Amino acid sequence: MTALMLIIFLLLLLIGIPIFIALLIASFAGILYLGDLSLLRVIPQQFFGGMDVFTLLAIPLFILTGNLMNRSALTDKLLDFCRVLVGHLRGGLGHVNVVASIVFAGINGSAAADASAIGSVLIPAMAKEGYDRSYAAGITAGSSLIGPIIPPSIFMVLYGAMTNQPIGALFAGGVIPGLLLGVAFMIMNHYYSVKYDYPVSNRRASLKEITETTRHSIVALIAPIIIIGGILLGIVTPTEAGALAVFYVAIVGFFITKKLTVKLFIEAILETVRSTSVIFVIMGGAAALCWLLKWEQVPQKVAMMLVNVSNNPTVLMLILSAIIFVIGMFMEEVAALILLTPVVAPVAMMAGINPIHFGIVMTLNITIALITPPMGACVHIVSAVGKVPLEKMFKDIWPFVGVSMIVLLLVILFPPLVTFLPGILNL
């Protein structure tokens, strides 16, 4: 039955049927095959249940925060701050790009928002200073990957909701790997800047200038502190942190930067509700199909099969990562995460891999898919905002994929990079 459902599902995708509907049709086909029509009532039950999960409440809030931030001109303030911080280094704007993504990551849970907000400002600025346009777009796409790794993270909420893992622990686990990504891209930027003689963008700022700029951009810097600090210290739940961030960004946008208007606010809400729906209906459809797969004990069977290949956790994680990488190249990332988690997470648990460690490996893996051609969303975004032809971008993005793969490998090989922080924070 599983093979039948899988073939039907893939065929449906190929003829252009939306994923959530393909999931429903495949579930229906599975039930027809089993011949027990009374099981049909399970489909709406699971569809509803898959969406009615308390932790998922954080998702629209994280998306809304990002949408409001971009309309409140908070990004500009962040960039000013990063400029005085690292603008004086060789390849200054490249470093600004990475550091801005790190700070941005603490407010926003999605890479796409990061790539479009930072890219639209920095790619033209970098090109003007003599950087190769596709390099500027590449580093924007690459560093945008930090977004879903440093908390908050939409991917982690989805993973946590599906595997019943605490979101707080996942968030804490992402901090070091996220910073590691940042460091890796800064090293890469340094190497390229020396090689191609990319310019220094600012002179070194005096202490006075740094304090002055910090004071001006403080409104933008408080947001990540509320969110990350609040969640990691266990003061607020991820959902509450999301709501506070929305509230904060809205207040700043309306009354401090004064860039947010009621019209823009409504626009942000409507954009958020559409993106949220797209994710949630896939969650619903996947819940229906997964119920059938569990009924047939598919996750256990897959787990047994893979554990027979190797029961070494590291080898298993490498195999799973390779599978996720390939699937991620061809499938939209949220969908890939929702479809793969229920199948691969049990494999990891059975092999004794720490579920938080695996969660971060999986999240990082899916995140990297955002910059792999041909489907990677962030490559498409930077190609559009940076005005670089897509074909050129597809070629020039690979060094950035390579660097993030090295970070992924480090995270797989050294579990404490993930487990250390949740451990000391008792999450």
Partner 1 sequence: MSKTGQSIIFTVSKNLSNLIKHLSLGLAGVFLLINVVDVLISIFFRYFLRSSLIWTEEVARYTLIYAVMFGATAALSYGEHVHISVFARRLPAPLGRLVRWIRNALITGILLLMTYLSVQYAKGGWRSRTLALGIPRAIPLMALPIGMALLVIQYVLVEITRAYSQRNEEESS
Q: List interacting residues with partner 1 (CB under 8 A).
A: 12-21, 24-25, 28, 40-41, 43-45, 47-48, 51-52, 54, 56-57, 60-61, 64, 236, 239-240, 242-244, 246-247, 266, 269-270, 272-278, 280-282, 331-332, 334-335
Closer Cβ to partner 1, 334 or 369, answer by number: 334
Closest CB to partner 1 among residues 244, 425: 244
Q: Which is nearer to partner 1, 12 or 180 (CB)?
A: 12
Minimum gap (Å) between residue 242 Cβ and partner 1: 8
Rounded to whole angstroms, the Cα distance separating 369 from 180 reads 18
We find the least distance from the C-beta atom of residue 146 to partner 1, in angstroms, to be: 24
Determine contact, residues 122/75, Cβ cutoff 8 Å. Answer: no
Neighbours of 307 (CB within 10 A): 15
Task: Return d(Cα 370, Cα 331) in angstroms, integer.
Answer: 10
Q: For the CA atoms of 140, 142, 147, 151, what is the dihedral angle to 10 degrees?
A: -140
Q: How far is the CB of 249 from partner 1 (least distance, A)?
A: 12
Q: Which is nearer to partner 1, 22 or 86 (CB)?
A: 22
Instruction: Report the alpha-carbon distance of residue 380 to residue 137 in Å, rounded.
Output: 10
Residues paired with 200 in a beta bridge: 90
CB of 385 to partner 1, least distance (A): 19
Of the two residues 57 and 125, which places its CB atom closer to partner 1 in the complex? 57
Q: How many CA atoms lie within 13 A of 413 on its CB side?
A: 6
Distance CA 43, CA 288 (A): 5
Contacts of residue 30, Cβ cutoff 8 Å, sequence gap at least 6: 1, 4, 5, 289, 292
Is 44 or 130 the residue whose CB approaches partner 1 more closely? Answer: 44
**Alpha-carbon gap, residue 205 to 171, rounded angstroms:** 33
- Which residue's CB is nearer to partner 1, number 230 or number 313? 230
Smallest distance, Å, CB 188 to partner 1?
A: 31
**Is the Cβ of residue 227 or residue 360 nearer to partner 1 in the bound state?**
227
DSSP assignment of 107-163 equals T-S-HHHHHHHHHHHHHHHHHHTT--HHHHHHHHHHHHTTTTTSSS-HHHHHHHHHH
| Least spacing, CB of residue 271 vs partner 1, in Å | 10
Closest CB 137 distance from partner 1, rounded Å: 22
Residue 87: is it exposed, middle or buried by C-beta count within 10 angstroms (0-12/13-18/19+)? Answer: buried
Least distance (Å) between residue 53 CB and partner 1: 8
Give the Å distances, CA to CA, from 170 to 41, 97, 155, 200, 240: 34, 25, 10, 37, 16
DSSP 281-341: HHHHHHHHHHHHHHHTTHHHHHHHHHHHH---HHHHHHHHHHHHHHHHHHS-HHHHHHHHH
Q: Which is nearer to partner 1, 8 or 93 (CB)?
A: 8
Residue 23: CB minimum distance to partner 1, A: 10
